[in-house]
């Protein structure tokens, strides 16, 4: 009995909380002969898993907790629970440790948590041929024996009723165990479906995240290209401004020359009255001066036309520059929106947006403060609305005025410029005052 030196694990769990249907005891005799070893045969059910500290005890009938065992033996752990042969187990109790009285006892299987998992039918320890012994007793002893037998019969009846109750409880517990097993299988199936659905959702999130990263890279590349284009336009604008300044300076020089010629013409007309003898010569001189003046006027007209053309080009370049600047701001706003959307998706997936290998440029890296919006389209559609097309219509009016056949020519030019906004999709035109209507119209094409 070296196996019984260590006390087995017990508990104060009552009979109502025990499960007697998980271990089935087989071949239990009604009585065992004192002085001999007793072998206990039992069967493990398919839903029970034995553990190292499980034990089988002999309990007196009427026990309340597992602490009331008389003696016990540790169970043997099977090597293969799937085999039918390993489910049939046995333990042997040595005769020295068995009870010496004739009370009713039963085997109980207790797990390492101190919970009873199975119980056998009651049995006794008494001699096999006890009926054949001749006993000489007195009448009082006979009455006492009969009374004792009556008590034993009564106790036997109670034990039978208890056994029937235990069998009924065992059947109910087996039914409940079957229901629990079915519920467990249902829960396992639901859990498997949920895991599969979660895996599909994670794959979908990863694909969406990859798509957003590709869109961010495209938008970043477009932003860099737009910055290069803006720098080129600014350089062209600076060059054209310098050329404009040169032309203005040349125009001023020509104007001064024209004024000087007018003064000379006036002097000639004054000297005409004083020197009539030189009239023919003066008339030829005046004719030459008129030709020079006409040539100067033509040159002045050409210079003014050039000046007007340069003004027109400068205005167009400024408008284009404004359009490019607005497009740049719009793209930066879209970048900011995509950055916030990426941050939201990262936080939803439990990731850190700052740990990504790529960061979207913020608005502070290349532009003024933006007001986020969706004026130019949906930033998640992958489509970029083309820049606005501007149509500038110019209607010049010239009204020359000649008086008294003199050489004075006054040129008045009025430039009426009307800016039209053309839709890049359907070429519909809107005036500059209808800018909000134009933006709504372009937005409708992106839906």
The predicted-structure confidence for 381-392, as pLDDT tens digits, reads as follows: 444 444 443 443
Nearest to 340 by CA among 353, 327, 355, 321: 353
25: tokens are: 């005891």
Quote the pTM value.
0.32
For residues 189 and 395, which has the higher predicted lDDT (pLDDT)?
A: 189
365 touches 394 (CB < 8 A): no
**How many C-beta atoms surround the C-beta of residue 22 within 10 A?**
23
Distance between CA 223 and CA 236 in Å, rounded?
A: 20
The predicted-structure confidence for 12-28, as pLDDT tens digits, reads as follows: 655 555 667 789 999 99
What DSSP line would sit under 58-73, residue for residue? EEETT--SGGGEEEEE
Q: Helix 279-348 vs helix 139-274: angle between axes, to the nearest 10 degrees?
A: 180
Q: What is the mean pLDDT of the chain?
A: 79
Res 70: pLDDT: 94
243: tokens are: 């050329």
- Interval 129-156 mean pLDDT: 71
Q: What's the chain's length in residues? A: 447
Q: Which of 4-8, 63-67, 281-285, 392-396 bottoms out in mean pLDDT, i.e. has the lowest?
A: 392-396
Q: Which of 12-21, 63-72, 346-355 has the highest mean pLDDT?
A: 63-72
Distance between CA 197 and CA 317 in Å, rounded?
A: 57
Res 17: pLDDT: 54
3-state secondary structure of 110: strand
- Cα angle 310-314-319, degrees, rounded to a multiple of 5: 150
- Interval 50-67 mean pLDDT: 92
118 touches 169 (CB < 8 A): no
The predicted-structure confidence for 152-201, as pLDDT tens digits, reads as follows: 888 888 888 888 888 888 888 888 888 888 888 889 889 889 988 888 98
């Amino acid at each position: 009995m070296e196996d019984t030196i260590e006390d087995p694990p017990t508990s104060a769990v009552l009979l109502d909380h025990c499960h007697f249907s998980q271990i089935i005891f087989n071949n239990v005799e009604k009585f065992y002969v004192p002085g001999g070893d007793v072998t206990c045969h039992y069967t493990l059910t398919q839903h029970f898993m034995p553990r190292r500290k499980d034990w089988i005890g002999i309990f007196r009938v009427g026990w309340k907790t597992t602490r009331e065992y008389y003696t016990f033996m540790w169970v043997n752990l099977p090597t293969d629970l799937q085999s039918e042969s390993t489910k049939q187990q046995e333990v042997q109790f040595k005769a020295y440790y068995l009870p010496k009285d004739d009370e009713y006892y039963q085997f109980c299987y207790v797990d390492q948590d101190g919970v009873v998992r199975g119980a056998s039918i009651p049995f006794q320890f008494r001699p096999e041929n006890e009926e054949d012994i001749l006993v000489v007793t007195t009448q009082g002893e006979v009455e006492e024996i009969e009374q004792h037998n009556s008590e034993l019969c009564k106790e036997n009846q109670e034990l039978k009723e208890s056994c029937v109750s235990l069998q009924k409880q065992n059947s109910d517990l087996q039914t409940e165990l079957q229901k629990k097993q079915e519920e467990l299988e249902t829960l396992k199936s639901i859990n498997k479906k949920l895991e599969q659905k979660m895996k599909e959702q994670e794959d979908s999130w990863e694909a969406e995240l990859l798509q957003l990263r590709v869109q961010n890279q495209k938008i970043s590349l477009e932003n860099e290209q737009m910055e290069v284009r803006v720098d080129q336009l600014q350089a062209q604008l600076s060059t054209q401004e310098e050329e404009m300044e040169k032309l203005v300076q040349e125009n001023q020089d020509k104007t001064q020359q024209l004024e000087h010629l007018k003064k000379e013409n006036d002097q000639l007309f004054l000297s005409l009255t004083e020197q009539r003898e030189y009239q023919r010569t003066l008339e030829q001189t005046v004719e030459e001066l008129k030709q020079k003046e006409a040539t100067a006027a033509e040159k002045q007209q050409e210079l003014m036309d050039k000046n007007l053309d340069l003004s027109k080009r400068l205005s167009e370049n400024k408008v284009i520059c404004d359009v490019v600047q607005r497009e740049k701001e719009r793209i930066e706003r879209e970048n900011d929106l995509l950055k916030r959307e990426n941050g939201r998706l990262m936080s939803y997936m439990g990731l850190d947006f700052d740990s990504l290998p790529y960061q979207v440029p913020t608005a502070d890296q290349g532009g003024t403060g933006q007001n986020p919006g969706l004026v130019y389209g949906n930033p998640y559609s992958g489509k970029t609305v083309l820049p606005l097309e501007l149509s500038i219509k110019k209607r010049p009016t010239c009204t020359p005025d000649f008086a008294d056949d003199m050489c004075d020519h006054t040129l008045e030019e009025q430039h009426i410029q009307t800016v039209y906004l053309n839709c890049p999709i359907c070429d519909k035109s809107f005036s500059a005052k209808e800018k909000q209507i134009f933006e709504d119209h372009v937005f409708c094409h992106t839906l």
